[in-house]
Chain A
Amino acid sequence: MYRYDSTDQALVDQRVAQFRDQTRRFLAGELSEDEFRPLRLRNGLYIQRFAPMLRIAIPYGLLSTRQLRMLASITRRYDRSYGHFTTRQNLQLNWPKLAEVPDILADLASVQMHAIQTSGNCVRNVTSDHLAGVAPDEMEDPRPYCELLRQWSTFHPEFTYLPRKFKIAVSGAPADRAATEVHDIGLHLTRNPAGELGFEVLVGGGLGRAPMIGQVIREFLPVPDLLSYCEAILRVYNRYGRRDNIHKARIKFLVKSLGIAAFRDEVEADWLASRHDGSQLTPAQVDYARSCFAPHPYERLADIDVTANADAQFKAWYRYNTHAHKVPGYRVVFVSLKPPGVPPGDVTADQMEAVAALADAVSFGEVRVTHTQNLVLAEVKQTDLRATWKELQRLGLATPNIGTLADMIVCPGLDLCSLANAGTLSVAKQLQRQFDDYDYLYDIGEIELKMSGCMNGCGHHHVGHIGILGVDKHGEEWYQITIGGSAREASTLGQVIGPSVPQAEVSSTVQRILDVYRELRLEDERFIDTVRRVTPTPFKERVYGKALAAA
């Protein structure tokens, strides 16, 4: 993985000193809350319902075990001994004390980490495929380009006060595991007919209010132009994006109002004028970034049948919680952060330390965070799988539910977030209780349930096969349900299938949706494929009754 040199280290150290001074001025009354807000936000610090919330950047979801141990130690020392992994591969602390945040940042800097630009109207943490570098279908490892983007976007002098937040995701495989089509910029590594490496560039995707799927702005961007082209997009956005209405300020609204063709013309004109202003990547820069993600020293092994004669429990775990690795004899292991009764994505300090120890033993000392709020040990020898499973079981992190309904994405909701309308964590518990029969979950098969506590859509409800959105109706929590969304390649937005339901009826409504699916599905057809084939109409009619669906 990428390791800081003296420049990287100096920058984060200087940032800690700057934020320590900003915090001091705020606590001394020299900065008002209004003045401090944009400064703290650019360091991932929110003021939430009960306490500040600190969002720590995990660039493209990759952690060394040393970093994971430090995160555990920080949650023990400054928080309540647990953390929450998010849909943007970050870690959130829910109970830090404002005055101690500079110390937390200093501890993070000691392991080459930071919270720079994890919130605020600036370029956020660059996210990527959690199987980068190991997926059999991958064309090219996206992480070197993520790191180049991370550095370029860190304290970018021109683009740190944008109209609104700005998210970039990069994928190097045909299967889109990074939800790139719902990012402000989505980058797909590709090759042109001459065989040169480059990017397909999408722009204007985003969730939240008025969700939109990104559109192709450039079919092929040569690698050396990665940063210069992103600069052109951001410059057009910075100059012409709306600043008068926070709800219309994301780049997607600018793309929509101009139309993709006119937006493209603006960007290309700016790019041609500024392409050689210094942002072009040299082959040496690209080669260096690539060398930072060189393959691990794999042993020469053959694939083995690890489930032969295995018990059903191990077989289930192997089937759901592991994934093929491109190197023979290795396997990707998912660490499920979705055990029953636990808020999705939460992990304790003890668990973090134990996972770090396990990763040191079986996965080259690295751990990844997925945008579905799980962890991954990406490089496990097949001969180590059984021992890995045993240890994860001991830690309560081997629930065999990856990709099932129980592997739901859920934002923290009203319990912690000051934006939320709804107690999503209570609904998650309700769903966990309702769907606790694994034979049933396995029969339902691959399905993505995603839930957000408000319109901002941190839980990606728009792109859930089943999406659940908490809404406030006269002070009561109601839930609007959509089906047919997907953030995979050829993304789709879910459609509302009926009036919102009270909290107590969410799981029974989901149950009825699944009943319809089980009736209508063809053999082995996934839920999303059934919805696409039959359209949402039969679901509307049979979940809500014909009269309501017509209303």
Chain B
Amino acid sequence: MAKLLRLPEAPAGLGAEVPLLGLKELPAAAAQAAGATVAVRISPADRVEELVEHLDKLALVAIEFPNPGDGRGYSSARLLRQRFGFKGEIRAVGAGVKQDLLFFMLRCGIDSFDLAPTENEAEARAALHRFTLAYQPAVPCRDVREARFTAAR
């Protein structure tokens, strides 16, 4: 049973069991879709730029974190949310979706988390709020109080 953690203010979104298309299947599915109904899964090596022309058809982008050490998904998420302005759900999926990393994912614009099977859901929910402050300018995303960016007064 998948444990899907979702921020309260995340878009209504799709359930954990929704089928996720691969990047190769996306163009055909997007061509047929009416409105933002498609869900796609991208692996760390996939270039998020390839999603750009289909963004209006996408309800969900699942970004894979195959292990905790592979940090490429953070860049994918931030680019998608910030540079390309994607407004739908960005979900972290894979064995690397662990409580100690959720804060970084959140800060890159990810708003739902398909927790790795070993994770404790209550702890993961608490870990999202482990830090109440950050130095970096946030991706325009949710739930982080920002005290300041660097040494500004």
A interface list, Cβ under 8 A from B? 2, 6-7, 10-11, 14-15, 17-18, 22, 35, 38-39, 121, 147-148, 151-152, 154-162, 227, 235, 238-239, 243, 273-274, 277-279, 281-282, 284-285, 288-289, 292
Contact = CB atoms under 8 A, between A and B. Distances in A.
A161 to B, nearest CB: 3
Given A38-B69, A158-B75, A285 B137 contact: no
Taking residues whose C-beta sits less than 8 angstroms from the other chain, chain B's interface range is: 35 or more
Contact of B82 (A35, A156, A277, A282): A277
Contact of B130 (A14, A152, A282): A14
B135 A292 contact: no
Given A121-B69, A277-B82, A161 B153 contact: no
B70 interface: yes
A162 B71 contact: yes
A10 B131 CA distance: 9
Contacts of B131: 11, 14-15, 18, 155
A239 B73 CA distance: 9
B135 to A, nearest CB: 4
Given A11-B131, A282-B152, A288-B152, A243 B98 contact: no
Interface string B107-147: 11000000000000000000000111111111000000001
B136 A152 contact: yes
Given A7-B148, A285-B150, A288-B153, A161 B136 contact: no
Contact of A161 (B74, B135, B151): B74
B50 interface: no
Contacts of B132: 10, 14
B151 A157 contact: no
B75 A238 contact: yes
Contact of A157 (B70, B98, B100, B104): B104
A282 B105 CA distance: 27
A-B complex: 3 closest residue pairs judged by Cβ atoms: A161-B71, A278-B137, A157-B107
A529 to B, nearest CB: 42
A11 B104 CA distance: 14
A367 to B, nearest CB: 23
Contact of A239 (B75, B105, B135, B137): B75
B151 A148 contact: yes
